Amino acid sequence: MALRGLAGSGPGSRGPLGQAGAADEEREAPAVVAAGDAPEDVEEDEGRSRGLLRWDGFSAWLHCVCVVGFDLELGQAVEVIYPQHSKLTDKEKTNICYLSFPDSNSGCLGDTQFCFRFRQSSGRRVSLHCLLDQFEKDLPVYLKVGKKDPAYFYGYVYFRQVRDKTLKRGYFQKSLVLISKLPYIHFFHTVLKQIAPEYFEKNEPYLEAACNDVDRWPAPMPGKTLHLPIMGVVMKVRIPTCHDKPGTTQIVQLTQQGDTHISVILPTVHEVDLFRCFCPVFLHSQMLWELVLLGEPLVVMAPSPSESSETVLALVNCISPLKYFSDFRPYFTIHDSEFKEYTTRTQAPPSVILGVTNPFFAKTLQHWPHIIRIGDLKPAGEIPKQVKVKKLKNLKTLDSKPGVYSSYKPYLNRDEEIMKQLQKGVQQKRPSEAQSVILRRYFLELTQSFIIPLERYVASLMPLQKSISPWKSPPQLRQFLPEEFMKTLEKTGPQLTSRIKGDWIGLYRHFLKSPNFDGWFKTRRKEMTQKLEALHLEALCEEDLLHWTQKHTEVETVDLVLKLKNKLLQADREHLPVKPDTMEKLRTHIDAIILALPEDLQGILLKTGMT
If asked whether residues 438 and 549 sit together in one domain, one would say no
Instruction: Give me the chain's average pLDDT, please.
Output: 81
Among residues 203, 218, 233, which one ends one of the domains? 218
Domain with residue 82: its CATH number is 3.30.450.200
Provide the pLDDT for residue 99: 95
Going by pLDDT thresholds of 50, 70 and 90, the confidence category of residue 465 is confident
If asked whether residues 424 and 467 sit together in one domain, one would say yes
Least confident of 87-91, 267-271, 413-417: 267-271
For 122-175, the pLDDT digits (tens) are 765 554 444 556 677 788 888 887 655 558 999 999 999 888 877 777 778 899
Buried b / exposed e along 44-57 (16+ C-beta atoms within 10 A): beebeeeebeebbb
What residues make up the domain containing 562?
A: 544-608
Domain membership of residue 534 (yes or no) is: no
Domain membership of residue 365 (yes or no) is: yes
Residue 239 has pLDDT above 80, yes or no: yes
DSSP 63-105: SEEEEEEEETTTEEEEEEEESTT----HHHHHHHHHHTS--GG
More confident residue, 58 or 376: 58
DSSP 233-289: EEEEEE---TTSPTT---PPP--SGGGGG--EE-S-SS---HHHHHGGGGGGHHHHH
Residue 387 has pLDDT above 80, yes or no: no
Least confident of 40-49, 198-207, 311-320, 487-496: 40-49
For 443-454, the pLDDT digits (tens) are 999 999 999 999
Domain membership of residue 379 (yes or no) is: yes
Provide the pLDDT for residue 452: 95
Three-state DSSP at 387 gives coil
Half-sphere exposure for 398 (CA within 13 Å, toward CB):
12
CB 368 within 8 A of CB 350: no
Going by pLDDT thresholds of 50, 70 and 90, the confidence category of residue 44 is very low
If asked whether residues 474 and 326 sit together in one domain, one would say yes
More confident residue, 110 or 453: 453
If asked whether residues 71 and 142 sit together in one domain, one would say yes
Q: What average pLDDT does this structure show over 208-214?
A: 93
If asked whether residues 335 and 481 sit together in one domain, one would say yes
CA dist., res. 554 & res. 598, Å (int): 9
Strand order in the sheet with 403-406: 327-329, 352-356, 298-301, 370-373, 403-406, 389-390
Residue 193 has pLDDT above 90, yes or no: yes
If asked whether residues 212 and 278 sit together in one domain, one would say no
Residue 79 has pLDDT above 60, yes or no: yes
If asked whether residues 326 and 421 sit together in one domain, one would say yes
Provide the pLDDT for residue 380: 46
CA dist., res. 388 & res. 480, Å (int): 39
| Rg value, the chain, Cα | 27
If asked whether residues 91 and 203 sit together in one domain, one would say yes
If asked whether residues 134 and 183 sit together in one domain, one would say yes
Going by pLDDT thresholds of 50, 70 and 90, the confidence category of residue 287 is very high
Domain membership of residue 336 (yes or no) is: yes
Angle (CA) 333-211-37 rounded to 5° is: 135
Domain membership of residue 146 (yes or no) is: yes
